[in-house]
Amino acid sequence: MDYSTVPGGPMIIISAEFDLADPNGIAKAMDVAGPLQQATRNDEPGCLSYVFAPDPCIAGRIQVYEVWEDEASLSAHFDHENYTNMAAGVRTVGLKAATNAKYRVTASEPVYDDSHTPRADFVSEDLQAPDEMIVIGGTIDVGDPSTIDDALERSIPFQMASREEEAGCRAYVFYKDPCVEGRIQVYELWDNYAALAPHFEHVNYRNMGGLLRGLDIKSDNRKYRCDLSEPVYDDTPRARADFFTG
């Protein structure tokens, strides 16, 4: 894709995992991260998603998922006090390990077509790019928020099975939004079309879908095709919104 022809350039997705030195520090971490997440969502133009939340499957792990409208909005975020305060706050809880990556988006559309069939291909695009990575992100709003904790607990075997058993699945996370009552956030990362397409026929997908259909839900989800991935930070280390390795 010629990004010089795209107003504002491509969307950018950031994902990260933070493993706390003390898994019991999750509550403290959320006390720090919650208000800053809400401020970023509310106050920063171009922020389409910004979630720091506990992974329901792995004790002491925080999953991060962000979507930015373009490089300019992400660059402004890295100069914003919300980013500075979040970085400082995360350090106060003590990290054992951390990973991060950013992804350049070449196409975006709903996961489901008009017949409500999940699609791994990009039906709105004339040209396909079957070797590009695919991110799925979205929200599930539950009519009765009191059912979320139990539902996520019951989803753990399905989430872990997708992560461990399905080739090409790099991330598969359904987790509670710390800022919006009754909301589940979804983040998935797949190697390519050949990895995602079998998932929609897999027992793990059917099991997760069956669990969710047992709840009163409204969902909003999209898939993003990404042609480039690299670390968020360069060697200095400085957070970069541009894709400096390619």
CATH of the domain at 224: 3.30.70.100
The backbone torsions φ and ψ at residue 20, rounded to the nearest 5 degrees and listed phi first, read -80, 145
Which pLDDT score is estimated for 202? 98
Q: Please check whether residue 139 is in contact with residue 67, taking contact to mean a CB–CB distance below 8 angstroms.
A: no
Q: Is there a domain that residue 145 lies in?
A: yes
Residue type, 136: I
Question: Token digits for 124?
Answer: 């709105």
Q: Is there a domain that residue 239 lies in?
A: no
Cis peptide before 10 (omega within 30 of 0): no
Question: Token digits for 35?
Answer: 């208000």
pTM metric for this prediction: 0.95
* Segment 174-184 mean pLDDT: 97
How far is Cα 7 from Cα 5, in angstroms, rounded to an integer?
A: 6
Kindly give, in sequence order, each residue whose CB lies less than 8 Å from that of residue 121, ignoring residues fewer than 6 positions away.
Answer: 128, 193, 197
Q: Is there a domain that residue 115 lies in?
A: yes
Q: Is there a domain that residue 130 lies in?
A: yes
Cis peptide before 178 (omega within 30 of 0): no
Q: Is there a domain that residue 125 lies in?
A: yes
Q: Does residue 120 register a pLDDT over 70?
A: yes
Which pLDDT score is estimated for 9? 66
How far is Cα 207 from Cα 155, in angstroms, rounded to an integer?
A: 9
* Segment 167-195 mean pLDDT: 98
Give residue for tokens 């922020």. 47
Q: What percent of the chain has pLDDT over 90?
A: 93
Q: Is there a domain that residue 244 lies in?
A: no
The backbone torsions φ and ψ at residue 137, rounded to the nearest 5 degrees and listed phi first, read -140, 150
What are the residue ranges of helices labelled H in the chain? 26-43, 71-78, 81-93, 148-165, 193-199, 203-213
Domain that holds residue 94: 3-230
Q: Is there a domain that residue 100 lies in?
A: yes
Q: Is there a domain that residue 32 lies in?
A: yes
Number of domains in the chain: 1
Pick the range with the lowest mean pLDDT from 4-8, 31-35, 121-125.
4-8
The backbone torsions φ and ψ at residue 182, rounded to the nearest 5 degrees and listed phi first, read 80, 15
Which pLDDT score is estimated for 229? 97
Sign (positive/negative) of CA torsion 15, 215, 168, 193?
negative
